[in-house]
Amino acid sequence: MQDSSQTLSMSGMRPTGQLHLGHLFGTLALWTQASEMEGAFFEIADLHAFTTSYANPQLIHDMRQELLLDWLAAGVDPNKATIFLQSAIPEISELNTILAMILPVAWLQRVPTYKEQIAALGPEIATYGFLGYPLLQLCDIAVFRAHRVPVGKDQLSHLELGREIIRRFNHFYGDVLVEPQALLSAFPDVPGTDGRKMSKSYHNTIAIADDAATTQQKIRGMITDPQKIRKNDPGHPEICPVFKLHTMVNAERTPAISEDCKSGALGCVACKTELSEKLTSHLAPIRARRHELAQDPAKLERILSTGNQRAREAASTTLHDVRTALKIGN
Ligand code: TRP
């Protein structure tokens, strides 16, 4: 058996919005696999949320409880994993200051998300902190010496930069920090209601926290194969987002649905009704758990404060070794 410290996982999300099926079938599916969850660290990245929402601290504060509810409802087990709040772990910010000293600015400017996000969100987000986003993310991971980072593929460029920074650090100061590897979900991208990738910024999501009626309504409005206009027209399931969602929650019926769509025996209205039913029953226990947990804020606080304490203990060991290697502090 592998030493558990060899396979330690760490990941995080920003408390900036409601989680949706893209998260549930992607990253959260990875997080909740028993092998990833045992001893893992999962972070509510509230400092990272300030890179885009710095003018709205109340929103960030409120969203952190929503994020925690989504995680717990989806099956993240606080008895197996350590769930913590980034801003409660000062060691992360300390490591960020230290690693900033050896990180060439050009490395950060080369990260593709940097220019893309500024183009998408405007010059107000072009702060020093935003440029340093991938460094802070690396510190989240490195402070626990985590090896594996279960994330979406949009995070690959951050992890690649992260490994380069760690190599530079270890080159100067000895083998103190660990190079993290991404762990990608086996699920394909989850399509949103308009057929593009499900994403908050496209307003095409089905949220974990939505109710059954809202889910039904969103599915009814979904885009299907544009060539299938009347019920009996032959369809092309391979390009249909409704079909793709069937493959995720209705796997045993997928071959029959594909055949009947192609032959024209199955119309889009009936196909969507079936998807609504399957998806609603798949989500029902998750939504019930979310609702129940939301009634018990004291429990949520307990989970977070226990997690914060465990995370700080682990982080302070790493910082001790880092300070020793740099001959700083005491
Ligand atoms: N950047 C990640 C995202 O946008 C969130 C994140 C913050 C993260 N810190 C992390 C992910 C550490 C993995 C590990 O989804």
34 — pLDDT class (breaks 50, 70, 90): confident
Question: Residue 24 pLDDT > 80, yes or no?
Answer: yes
Minimal-distance CA residue to ligand 1 atom 14: 11
Q: Is the CB of 44 under 6 A from ligand 1?
A: no
Residue 137 CA, closest ligand 1 atom number: 9
Q: What is the predicted pLDDT for the residue at 208?
A: 96
| Centroid of ligand 1 to alpha carbon of 36 (angstroms) | 16
- Residues 222, 269 contacting (CB under 8 angstroms): no
201 — pLDDT class (breaks 50, 70, 90): confident
284 — pLDDT class (breaks 50, 70, 90): very high
Question: Residue 2 pLDDT > 70, yes or no?
Answer: no
| Centroid of ligand 1 to alpha carbon of 320 (angstroms) | 24
Domains of the chain are: 9-190+297-326 (3.40.50.620), 210-290 (1.10.240.10)
6 — pLDDT class (breaks 50, 70, 90): low
- Residues 153, 184 contacting (CB under 8 angstroms): yes
Question: Residue 5 pLDDT > 90, yes or no?
Answer: no
| Centroid of ligand 1 to alpha carbon of 161 (angstroms) | 14
| Centroid of ligand 1 to alpha carbon of 210 (angstroms) | 24
Q: Which of 95, 125, 140, 197 to mutate to test the pocket of ligand 1 (most atoms within 8 A of CB)?
A: 140
